[in-house]
Amino acid sequence: MIYEFRVKGHLDDHWSAWLGDLTITRHHDGISTLTGPVADQAQLHGVLARLRDIGAILLSLNVVEDPAPREVTPAGRAVRGYAAPSSGPCSKRW
């Protein structure tokens, strides 16, 4: 998934590699946006921990792009990565 982290202050470009090669964009309002792919929850927590370690104040965290297809469950709810069973012991409805 592609994530966007918004932090207070301007981060220098040298932090990009240490934060997982995220692209850093500095805005006129004193906010930095870090954007890039994050492979999984472990990497996401790693980036958040590193932002904490450098004293960055996290303002927001957004998913910019979610490449995973969404399946529809038997109840009609969209769930990422869920394929409804067609038969077998788990297909029984309660």
In the CATH hierarchy, which fold is given to the domain comprising 2-65?
Answer: Alpha-Beta Plaits (3.30.70)
Strand 70-72 relative to strand 2-8: parallel, antiparallel, unpaired?
unpaired
Res. 65 pLDDT band, cuts 50 70 90? confident
Nearest to 63 by CA among 86, 38, 88: 38
Tokens of 64: 């910019």
Summarize the confidence of residues 69-82 as an average pLDDT. 56
Domains of the chain, residue spans: 2-65
For the cut 80, the answer to whether the pLDDT of residue 74 exceeds it is: no
On the 0-12 / 13-18 / 19+ scale of CB atoms within 10 A, 34 is buried
Quote the pTM value.
0.69
The 10s digit of each residue's pLDDT in 22-55 is 999 999 999 999 999 999 999 999 999 999 999 9
